[in-house]
Amino acid sequence: MFARRLDARARKIQDPVERLRFLQREMQALDSKSRPSARRRWTGWNGISAAAVAIAAVLAAPWPAGVAETTARESRMAIPAAAAAFESVKSPVKVWRVDRSETFETYSNGLRVDLTFVASNQARQRYPVFPLNGGAEPARYQTNPAGIVYHTTEGQLAEFEEAKNQRLKALGRNLLEVVREERAYHYVIDRFGRVYRVVEETDTANHAGHSVWADPSGIYVNLNTSFLAVSFEGQTGEPDAVTAAQIQAARMLTEMLRSKYSIPAENCVTHAQVSVSGVNNHIGVHFDWASQFPFAAVGLPDNYGQPLPSLIVFGFEYDSAFVRAIGGRWKGLDLAEAQVAEQAASQGMPVSRYRAILQHRYTDILGVLAETEGGG
Amino acid sequence: MSETAVGPALGLDVGTSRIVAARGSRGEHGAGERTYDSQLNAFVSIPYSKITVDALSRENVPHTVGPYEIIVHGNESEKFAGLLNAEIRRPMNRGILDPKEPDSLKVIREILSRMLQANPQQQQAPRKICFTVPAPPLGSPDALTYHEATLRQTLEDLGFEPSSINEGLAVVYGELADSNYTGIGISCGGGLCNVCLAYLSVPVVSYSVPKAGDYIDMNAAQVTGERANLVRLAKEDSFHFNGFSENKMQQVIGVYYDDMIRSLVASLKEAFARTASLPKFSRPIPIMLSGGTTLPAGFRDRFEKLLREQDFPITVSEIRLAQDPLHSTAKGALTFALSEG
């Protein structure tokens, strides 16, 4: 009787660690012996006790590499599709325009938008939205903005104190002129919390370059057209330089834009979250608001916790330099990693192979976008 | 069979309410000495002020400073929760990282980082570490992969070579060496009760039950109007199973304890009755109870009474309470880490 002999032999080993090691080795050996070719399956069991047969039945699959694998197999856990990673957050409060003059717009939540720097750019055409679960052909086209990307202006800053008031105002004005010239953002919030529309909402702004985001309805690639840009006068890596007035203004502006275009909260994200390289399949070409974006104060959930779409749907990667630059890992980064690993496992392939397939899809989509001339 | 000495290793029980680290090595003549270190897997956040940061640093209170708040974590969090009359927050819920707690990852990383610093008394810092993960709830698949992958990544970042083990199996490895790692290990913790039936070291059935210590605390808190923290303290300090109590808190805790044990016993019967490939055991097998929720006097007797009332499909030789219920899961994880060496 195999099991009894094994039991008796193990009992002679005094050291519990060595005993455990012995049992594991013997049971794994039994497991590999108990998986003969289909033709020999039943003849190969001669001489093995009923108990050992029962154990072998439990161990029908390969010896697990980790507990999650074991438990997933035991419970026949379904591997979630990419779509399950994104959860929709309920729609915003209603905000409407109360008044408008040549230089200002006023909104019902107290937002006041300065129009003195507004300029036109290329009008927003319909842009493609790609399906979550594969293919390079667009699932549909859309014309309204789907989200907001938050930036910092990366400009020169003066100390925020009364004695520097003239300098602060001058820097702000210079900044607005540069942003207008480059059609860089739809909105700029200066350090006094004043909100300036710089590019018309109906037009594209040159703010995001190579970038990716996704929501339950699809994937957005290169967000200049599909997402509005809101920029804080500030510097990357210096979140303390952003003033309370700016945060309050950002909250009101976000409320207004979400209300006007029915933008879901999960599509209000930072430039660092959406930025990708067009060259080496790495994320994080730009680091603005890579950490400490005041999501809660702006009336949004902590979107750093969202699984990063660029990793999940296009297999983008990152290196330790990126993690250092963002000052630690995002929860969304870990969630995305775990999901990629799960999906690779569900496809029965190594993660590297699975990523390569996703990356290939991104290249295909860039090709489609190039053909349709600047969609997205 | 040669026995070679194995370098130091670590076993880590990552529970909803506590994290326990077991350190040890294996010499030429068997198991060496084990040492244990434990921290509350909890934190409180305090509004930021420079004065508070200075005071915490001066008093050597483990904390992290954010832009708007200070987070005090580990054992000190309980004291601060009492001082501030605040509920303790936890990085984990029901055995896994809490998706609704935005600071979960940061806090657990801080706690682990402090706990797992190389033991200054050891010449060689441990590299191998085995951490526990829960099993999925009975009958309902659960997403454990993220939890496990996150802990693994965190431990790798801290310089370890991690492996994982199911909590119930860790109880078997920690306490059931004398039955050749055959039997049922049950870990009754804060968020979950984890169960594993193992046969000659191989896990056959593993699952969890979402009624455990927190279930008792939260429900008793609702009934009595006290904070869950205070219920937990009352439960740990003075509760025992001796029938009806005139003290309302004790009586309410008793009601929910009983409900928890009944659920656990019912799950055992259900799980083993529906497992088609149960081994034919050549002899009755033991059940080992462990975890902080098994600590009240009379727990083992109450469990045995309710189990014996059931038509249980496996013949049980004995029901034992672990000698050191708070440490047996970490001990089992350590045994597994050493066996991999």
Give the closest of B31, B153, B278 to A334, CB-based: B153
**β-sheet with B202-209: strand ranges across:** B202-209, B193-199, B183-188, B285-290, B316-321
B120 touches chain A (CB under 8 A): no
What CA–CA distance (Å, rounded) separates A179 from B140?
A: 54
**∠ CA A83-A86-A89 to the nearest 5 degrees?**
135
Sign for the CA dihedral angle at B65, B69, B75, B80 comes to positive
Using an 8 Å CB-CB cutoff, list chain A residues near B45. none
Closest CA to A368 of A142, A129, A144: A129
Paired tokens of A104:
């200002």
Max distance between CA atoms of chain B, in angstroms, equals 66
| pLDDT by position in tens, chain B (length 341) | 333 344 578 999 999 999 999 998 765 445 567 889 999 999 998 888 888 888 888 888 888 887 788 899 999 888 888 777 777 889 998 888 888 888 888 899 999 998 887 544 454 566 889 999 999 887 665 667 788 888 999 999 888 899 999 999 999 999 999 999 999 999 999 989 999 999 999 898 899 998 999 999 999 998 888 888 788 888 887 888 876 666 888 888 999 999 999 999 999 988 887 776 677 777 899 999 999 999 998 999 999 999 988 888 888 999 999 999 999 999 999 999 998 87
B291, HSE (Cβ side, Cα atoms, 13 Å): 30
Paired tokens of A157:
């800053």
- Structure letter (DSSP) for residue A211: B
3-state secondary structure chain B: CCCCCEEEEEEEEECCCEEEEEEEEEECCEECCCEEEEEECCEEEEECCHHHHHHHHHCCCCEEECCCEEEEECCHHHHHHHHHCCCCECCEECCEECCCCCCHHHHHHHHHHHHCCCCCCCCCCCCEEEEEECCCECCCCCCCHHHHHHHHHHHHHCCCEEEEEEHHHHHHHHHCHHHCCCEEEEEECCCCEEEEEEECCEEEEEEEECCCHHHHHHHHHHHHCCCHHHHHHHHHHHCECCCCCCCHHHHHHHHHHHHHHHHHHHHHHHHHHCCCCCCCCCCCEEEEEECHHHCCECHHHHHHHHHHCCCCCCCEEEEEECCCCCCHHHHHHHHHHHHCC
Q: Which helix (H) or strand (E) holds A195?
A: strand A195-197
Paired tokens of A245:
């007035």
CB count within 10 Å of CB B137 equals: 17
pTM for the full model?
Answer: 0.55
**Chain B closest-CA separation from residue A366 CA (Å):** 31
Paired tokens of A132:
């979550």
Determine contact, residues A235/A152, Cβ cutoff 8 Å: yes
- Closest Cα in chain A to B148: A68
What CA–CA distance (Å, rounded) separates A3 from B181?
A: 13
Q: Kindly list the distances between the CA atom of residue B274 and the CA atoms of A41, A56, A77, B172, B269, in Å, as whole numbers in the listed order.
A: 26, 18, 18, 22, 9
Q: Kindly list the distances between the CA atom of residue A298 and the CA atoms of A63, A249, A254, A334, B302, in Å, as whole numbers in the listed order.
A: 49, 9, 7, 24, 53
Closest CA to A329 of B98, B129, B157, B100: B157
Closest CA to A128 of A369, A370, A371: A369
Scanning the structure block, which residue is given the tokens 């934190």? B43
B173 touches chain A (CB under 8 A): yes
- The one-letter amino acid at A32: S
Using an 8 Å CB-CB cutoff, list chain B residues near A337. 149, 153
- Average of per-residue pLDDT values in chain A: 80
pLDDT in tens, B154-163: 999 888 899 9
CB count within 10 Å of CB A121 equals: 19
What CA–CA distance (Å, rounded) separates A146 from A258?
A: 9
Closest CA to B95 of B168, B4, B173: B168
pLDDT in tens, A158-167: 888 888 888 8
What CA–CA distance (Å, rounded) separates A308 from A85?
A: 9
- Closest Cα in chain B to A78: B141
B32 touches chain A (CB under 8 A): no
Chain B interface, best mutation among A19, A20, A31, A346, by max B CB count within 10 A = A20
Pick B102 or A250 by higher pLDDT.
A250
Scanning B149-168 for CB atoms below 8 A from A yields 149-150, 152-153, 163-166
- Write the ipTM: 0.84
Give the closest of B149, B205, B279 to A338, CB-based: B149
Q: What is the pLDDT of residue B3?
A: 32
Q: Is the model's pLDDT at A77 over the cut of 70?
A: no
Give the end-to-end CA distance of chain A in Å, rounded to a whole number.
69
Q: What is the pLDDT of residue B140?
A: 61
